[in-house]
Chain A
Amino acid sequence: MDNLLCDEVWLSKSANTFEEVISDPVALKSYENEEFEEVFAVCLEKEVLCLPEPDYTKYLHYNNFIFPSCRVIQWFIKCRSHFNLSFGIVFLTINYLHRFVSICQCNDWEYWMLELLSIACLSIAIKLNEISGLSLHEIQVTNCHYIHHSLFI
């Protein structure tokens, strides 16, 4: 649990999704454009703080991370359609995964570690951003080579 916050700088901003649109246009009428511009500026500011460390792409190449990353992204997309999740979930999950890898850079990654991390990131993204949760077991049935015990995730 000590890694829950990935050792990111305390009081940093959290990731946010931008894709969903407020569906009731009437609700927007009374608010000043000025206020929305301010909120938008805050969102842009947050986005910078949710990026991986500098030189991260070099690290990915050096550690042969590109291809395995693409495999897990394909899995996230498959999960999205299988469980009817929002597209924002895929974005957030990938963001969480790369932020974590960026902060905990080590040189001994193996594919099973990436798979385990992927499950954890998807679970957290669902918990934060969906109405109903999915159990860790449900998440895994779509792809994994073997089921990780919930306790280890």
Chain B
Amino acid sequence: MEKPGGGGVLSAKEAFEKLEKVGEGTYGKVYRAREKATGKIVALKKTRLHEDEEGVPPTTLREVSILRMLSRDPHVVRLMDVKQGQNKEGKTVLYLVFEYMDTDLKKFIRSFRQTGQTVPPQTIKSLMYQLCKGVAFCHGHGILHRDLKPHNLLMDPKTMMLKIADLGLARAFTVPIKKYTHEILTLWYRAPEVLLGATHYSMAVDIWSVGCIFAELVTKQALFPGDSELQQLLHIFRLLGTPNEDVWPGVSKLMNWHEYPQWNPQSLSTAVPSLDELGLDLLSQMLKYEPSKRISAKKAMEHAYFDDLDKRHL
């Protein structure tokens, strides 16, 4: 950022022309905007500072800090700048300036659902490879995302490039974790150990989300669409079988463990019928109950499912 006091510093209002509101991030509105100096289209994510003058919220500080570290990777959305501005009431607001991406995976999948077409298998493979690569980069830098879902995966529909966004809840591995805020986060991509109240997360929570996204790309429907934490667990148990100490040592000691209806595991092919053998194998390794048995993002990139993918531009 430019030094304070320099005559060339522009406030957010002077530097950008807001074009339209395009959505809501975890804690703030997102606008499409044009940078006046260059004509470049960007995304502005607005964060209003607290009334009590406690400065920048922790989620924004973390997001900026983490994105500065991660934005070198082509599969993480690029944070270009941080700007201060004022809203109509004169309150200070902070704008995170991101590269603009035309769409997200949620809209992409919905467009196929509406036309009744399936997502082409090679497109699924390419998107999944990019997702694994971006997640591997985050994990390789000690960062958990913790909120991976189609809405947070931005896409350029012309190039089929995919980028991870919305790292406001991301954490360094070593940072203690508060329980999820129920109202904000969708449950569908949440790992079973989180739902059962584990307090020590690992990279595996993101891999579970990746697996759910993988299945959704194939079927165009959420794999586990629960509407409460209990229903979310029951959705998972109906497909993968109710876990026990044999398949998941330690599961009965988790805080939210209770007696649950007993289901036997079903084949994943019943849930994702059009996925081939290699894809089903990769998916099964992403959806292991025991977190330590789940495949890592880096190992997933090496899986045979991706062997016939041309990776030169990814």
Contact = CB atoms under 8 A, between A and B. Distances in A.
Interface of A: 1-5, 7, 10-14, 16-20, 22-24, 26-31, 35, 38-39, 42-43, 46, 86, 88, 120, 123-124, 127-133, 135-136, 150-151, 153
B174 A16 contact: yes
Contacts of A2: 1-4, 9, 84
A139 B71 CA distance: 33
B250 interface: yes
Contacts of B172: 16-17, 129
Interface in B40-58: 52-58
A101 B178 CA distance: 32
Interface residues of B, number: 47
Contacts of B256: none
A1 B69 contact: no
Nearest to B174: A20
A5 B61 contact: no
Contact of B293 (A17, A30, A86): A30
B179 to A, nearest CB: 9
B165 interface: no
Contacts of A5: 1, 64, 68, 82
B265 interface: no
Interface string B153-178: 00000000000000000001111111
Nearest to A86: B176
Contacts of A20: 174, 176
17 contacts: A1-B94, A5-B64, A5-B68, A5-B82, A10-B1, A10-B68, A11-B68, A14-B69, A18-B174, A20-B176, A38-B140, A39-B139, A42-B140, A128-B61, A130-B176, A132-B178, A135-B52
